[in-house]
Amino acid sequence: MSISEDEVQAELDKRRPLSTTYSTTRKERDRVRIVSGVFNGRTTGAPICMVIDNEDVDSRPYEEFRVKPRPGHADYPAIIRYGGFHDYRGGGRFSGRITAALVAAGAIAKKLLSLVGVEVYAHVSQIGRAMAGREPSVDELRRVYENPVRCAVPEAVEAMEGELRKAVEEGDSLGSMVEGYAFNVPPGLGDPMFHGLDSDLAALLFAVPGVRAVCLGRGFEAPSLRGSEFIDEYVVDHGRITTTTNKCGGVIGGLSIGTPIHVKVAFRPPSTIRKEVRTVNLMTMEATTLKATGRYDPCIGPRAVPIVESCLALVLVDHALNQGLIGAVLK
């Protein structure tokens, strides 16, 4: 398959800090270099190694967090896990920066999926109390990067921006929901039990810093509903089997059923806020406080849109490769 650094870079650029007042001021250019696995513009069959160097790293604040661990961050358990020897600079392996690698890999996965007609999108459906209010159309999803909050429902953008502005003013942060969609996934993709599409998706999504809940379709509402309300009935449409509703999010028993894969991902509000929070000085084991200065992302959702897309693409492409769908097209 042909692939270029520019194609991967275009995906990475979607993950960059938003060019608005709402986001961190760190310069993260995230320039990707493909160092192996691509030759003469085409994949060679060897593993593809891509490198994104860190730039503009100011490690000083992290010295403090070794002694005074930030609540809501992995500082404290990481010290225990690695006996204090881990690389704490920039948050280390627990930093959101690690998702740049997911997006770079996702760029290749998306391109492979496009060979079999599968398209993957995501958007922000909730920021704090502002909701999208409805499902976006495919066309709206395709234009999701046109607004800074990455919400594909145009009429909801303003309210979300308002929520963000207010939180920033108050030095606080906001939780968010990102919804991912994959269209044209053929039925029967996936495996039962340990590597169902839902298991694989959930595992990868929970690896993204800040994710606290994952559901398929309308899974968050499932406990409150009755069977007669939750069932997606089968109907024939233009000679093909489909369902009238998609509450299952396109996955049953770990297998796709041919309707769009639909996943909801709940992100916590970032833990770094400009308010005083209580913590413990690990040297003295005495109570102390922390208060962030500088600017930080007040909300994870907008920057997480390409990450959720990538997670979806990576899981689907793995199964598609395993089942020989993509090999059949490449030959």
Q: Of 37-66, which residues contact a copy of itself (CB under 8 A)?
A: 39-40, 42-46
Map residues 110-149 to x or -, x wherever contact with a copy of itself holds by CB under 8 A.
Answer: ----------------xxxx--------------------
- Cα separation, 222 vs 103, in Å, equals 31
Nearer to a copy of itself, 142 or 229 (CB): 229
- Cα separation, 202 vs 200, in Å, equals 6
Nearer to a copy of itself, 140 or 200 (CB): 200
Binder to a copy of itself among 26, 86, 165, 295 (CB under 8 A)?
86
Region of 72 on the Ramachandran plot (φ > 0 left; ψ -120 to 50 alpha; else beta): left
Look-up of token digits 């760190």: 26
For the segment 1-20, give every residue that binds a copy of itself (CB under 8 A): none
Instruction: Provide, rounded to whole angstroms, the least separation between the CB of residue 219 and a copy of itself.
Output: 3
Pairing of strands 119-127, 130-131: antiparallel
Binder to a copy of itself among 21, 142, 229, 329 (CB under 8 A)?
229
| Single-letter code of the amino acid located at 311 | C
Count interface residues toward a copy of itself (CB under 8 A).
Answer: 119
For the segment 286-305, give every residue that binds a copy of itself (CB under 8 A): 286-287
In terms of Cα–Cα distance, which of 75, 89, 63 is closest to 280? 75
DSSP string, 132-172: --SPPPHHHHHTGGGSTT--S-HHHHHHHHHHHHHHHHTT-
For the segment 149-208, give every residue that binds a copy of itself (CB under 8 A): 167, 172-177, 186-190, 192-194, 196, 198-207
Q: State CA 121 to chain mean position distance.
A: 11
Element (H, E) at 62: helix 60-67
Nearer to a copy of itself, 12 or 205 (CB): 205
Nearer to a copy of itself, 139 or 324 (CB): 324
For the segment 248-287, give every residue that binds a copy of itself (CB under 8 A): 248-249, 252-258, 266-273, 275, 277-280, 282, 285-287
Structure tokens at 229: 């309300």
Binder to a copy of itself among 180, 209, 260, 306 (CB under 8 A)?
209
Angle at 140 between CA 134 and CA 144, to 5 degrees: 105
Nearer to a copy of itself, 17 or 72 (CB): 72
- Cα separation, 259 vs 88, in Å, equals 43
Instruction: Provide, rounded to whole angstroms, the least separation between the CB of residue 327 and a copy of itself.
Output: 5
Instruction: Provide, rounded to whole angstroms, the least separation between the CB of residue 158 and a copy of itself.
Output: 18
Binder to a copy of itself among 48, 67, 94, 295 (CB under 8 A)?
94
Binder to a copy of itself among 55, 82, 138, 154 (CB under 8 A)?
82
Q: State CA 44 to chain mean position distance.
A: 28
Nearer to a copy of itself, 224 or 293 (CB): 224
- Cα separation, 135 vs 137, in Å, equals 7
Nearer to a copy of itself, 94 or 145 (CB): 94
User: Torsion over CA of 77, 81, 85 and 89, rounded to 10 degrees?
Assistant: -40
